[in-house]
Chain A
Amino acid sequence: MIESFFEYEFLQNAALTGVMIGFVAPLLGVFIVVRRLSLIADALSHITLTGIAASLLLEKKVTGLNNLNPVYMGMVFSVGGAVLIEQLRKVYKHYEELAIPIILSGGIGLGVILISLADGFNTDLFSYLFGSVTAVSRDNMWTVAIITAAVLVIVILFYKELFVLSFDEEHASISGVNGKWIHFLFIVMVALVIASAMQIVGILLVSALMTLPVAAALRIARSFKQTIVLSIVFGEVAVIFGLFSSYHLSVPPGGTIVMLAIIQLILAMGYKKIMAQKWLKGETA
């Protein structure tokens, strides 16, 4: 892959996009997981599919739109879905998680209709579902770069506020933190990162990149900062080696990346167990 990397533009696009996604997806994932919103990523990735289907349909049926890049429409739908989830969470105050299956099934339902109207399940769609090393265009890569930079700046600027909001909303409120606004900003970032990551890992597995590295980090880290750093390290390792093996094995990168993330998770759990036993032994000795 190393030699091919300099030879083929598509590989550069995929690898560089992967590195960026491997960074921001777990970064936002940490906040998602500690706020117990893990499934939001799933709901948003499914509604991204609806956007892609809508784009494919428009491309087919409307003349003059034949060079539409489905990723952008996916992003629009993802952000729209994020806003809808927030609204639904307000309606069902006592059943906040209900917003997730509503958006998820609604997204898939509409998506299936749109896909069928666009005549079908082709290879394009397969790569959106499970990711692809060839799907990322140079334009897409630059879009992802802009999103990555924006997310990074916002998380650094609002780190305090995001942390307080995640830990306890009451305290955030009496710290003068505008929870509503920050939360909205956060969910929009999540929506954009999901639509970006989808090109590499695929819709069905994009939430894994936001949650599995965090799950592994949580087993080891003591502080919040450590959790963030370890999650990013695990995310990057999974993406880089996942893309590499995907290219060599000719399987979709979504599969290899997620399997690597799972292996890391198992190792992290094993590590925790060994450390706990060591500690016990030290106690009794």
Chain B
Amino acid sequence: MQEDNLVEIENVSYKYERQYAVKDVNMTIKSGQFLGLVGPNGSGKSTLIKLMLGLIKPEEGKVRLFGQPLRQFKRWQDIGFVSQKASSFNSGFPATVLEVVRMGLVSKIGTFKFFHKHHKQKTIEALKTVDMEAYLHYNIGELSGGQQQRVFIARALVSDPKLLILDEPTVGVDAQHVAEFYHLLRKLNREKGITLLMVSHDIGTITEHATHVACINKTVHFHGDTQEYNEFDSEDLNHLYGHVVQQLSHNHPEVNER
């Protein structure tokens, strides 16, 4: 076990009813990576994320977070999570942006302790990262979908996580904001050194920005850095998706920078 392995997944399988959602998955996420997890709809991407976060328990196999078996893992403040469902929460919930983002500090503060003034400061800082500090006292339901998404990213960032997991965060966000969003992710990854895991079915865009790519369809079909991925035989990719995949823009300047 290496120090810089933030997530280790060993032979993990999970079934819904009788069908395998993921089968014999092995995957390691190392510190500093920006891993794009891609795969077609129903390929088990979200299931794999849930398994990593302990939201569901694997039938077989082991998950380790920061070198610790999942069950013993306690430092949840080191992980930020932006769920796909962030856009379908109860939008009538009476909470301000401040209250929502501050929620991200719960594990850091710990049981029997209270919110303090400096937690508000921390919240404002997190909102600044996503350019939403002007909305501190807005009701969460008053914001647009894209703004809400940024608030949820701020909630994931407020505890200064080492690993940020995003499950299809760009669904329902318009193209212009998607570009801004990737810009933000790159900044977090490079400047703040946050390890990123982002689930996406938009294989073209994610491979432009990520440092590593993992393709899954129940099992892992490819896992390597973006360079390798670009050389990856498109036959295999077609096989993975079950149909012809558009040729992707290789040799993108942003990839070559590294």
**Which positions in A face B, CB cutoff 8 Å?**
34, 36, 157, 159-161, 163-164, 166-168, 170-177, 217-218, 221-227
Residues A163 and B103 in contact in the complex (CB < 8 Å), given A34-B94, A174-B53: yes
Residues A174 and B95 in contact in the complex (CB < 8 Å), given A160-B106, A163-B103, A167-B89: no
**Which positions in B face A, CB cutoff 8 Å?**
53-55, 74, 76, 79, 81, 83, 85, 89-90, 92-96, 98-100, 103-104, 106-107, 109, 111-112, 114-115, 137-139, 155
Closest CB-CB distance, A140 to chain B, in whole Å?
A: 31
Out of A36, A164, A172, A222, which one reaches B96, CB within 8 Å? A222
Out of B55, B94, B96, B115, which one reaches A160, CB within 8 Å? B115
Contact B106 A177 (CB under 8 A): yes
14 contacts between A and B (CB under 8 A): A34-B90, A34-B93, A157-B112, A160-B114, A163-B99, A164-B106, A168-B83, A170-B81, A173-B54, A174-B54, A176-B74, A177-B106, A222-B139, A224-B96
Residues A171 and B81 in contact in the complex (CB < 8 Å), given A160-B109, A163-B99, A224-B99: yes
Contacts of B85 in A (CB 8 A): 168, 170
Closest CB-CB distance, A27 to chain B, in whole Å?
A: 14
Whose C-beta in chain A lies nearest to the C-beta of B100?
A: A167
Contact B106 A168 (CB under 8 A): no
Contacts of B55 in A (CB 8 A): 170, 173-174
Contact B94 A175 (CB under 8 A): no
Among B79, B85, B99, B138, chain A packs the most CB atoms within 10 A around the CB of: B99
Contact A223 B90 (CB under 8 A): no
Out of A36, A157, A164, which one reaches B103, CB within 8 Å? A164
Known: A163-B103, A175-B103, A223-B96. 10 other contacts (CB 8 A): A34-B93, A163-B95, A167-B103, A170-B83, A171-B104, A174-B55, A174-B107, A218-B92, A222-B137, A223-B95
